[in-house]
Amino acid sequence: MSALVTMRPDLFGCVIDSVPHTDIIHFVEDDRGPMYITEYGNPRESEEMFSYLLSYSPYHNVRKTEYPPFYIQTGECDNNVPPYHGKKFAARLQELNQSENPILLRVLEKGSHDRGSGEAYWKTIAEMQLFVDKAMDL
């Protein structure tokens, strides 16, 4: 979702971006980064691979433009996608967004690579649904 919306923000009415990988250049330095090399490739492999990954790395492709309403959700205890991905991405979007649309960051204090469990899960789902309803004027 992150890569798509940085490429073509005009195509989206709103965005729910849950536990996103956004820094495709530095993910290999994360604890679990090496396991994602088979999925994304290794930016250290060659200059060609670095350039390719940089071409769609969401964090690196945020630019001054109008972005749709964004709800970015990350888990403070996520050991698959560390929370810095969502936090950095949200900060950059907030800085460069040229629209009045909100760029929201939801950090689940005890969340991991999910939306919590029990009551926390349902609260997060309700939050996301309310965000979509409001953003789409439903």
Write down the domain spans for the chain.
2-135
From first CA to last CA, the distance across the chain in angstroms is: 22
Q: What is the pTM of this model?
A: 0.92
Q: How far apart are CA 104 and CA 29, in angstroms?
A: 26
Please list, in sequence order, all residues whose beta carbon lies within 8 angstroms of the beta carbon of residue 37, skipping any fewer than 6 positions away: 28
Over residues 2-16, the pLDDT tens digits come to 999 999 999 999 999
- Using CA of residue 71, residue 61, residue 55, residue 57, what is the dihedral sign? negative
Kindly list the strands in the beta sheet with 103-108, ordered across the sheet, starting from the edge strand earlier in the chain: 15-18, 70-75, 103-108
Task: Estimate to the nearest angstrom the gap between the alpha carbon of 19 and the chain centroid.
Answer: 6
pLDDT of residue 34: 86
63 or 123: whose pLDDT is higher? 63
Task: Average the pLDDT over each of 13-17, 19-23, 78-82 and give the range with the smallest value.
Answer: 78-82
CATH 1.10.150.20 assigned to 2-135: no
Q: How far apart are CA 13 and CA 15, in angstroms?
A: 7
Main-chain phi, psi angles of 46, to 5 degrees: -165, 165
Query: Which range has highest mean pLDDT (43-47, 55-59, 74-78, 123-127)?
Result: 55-59
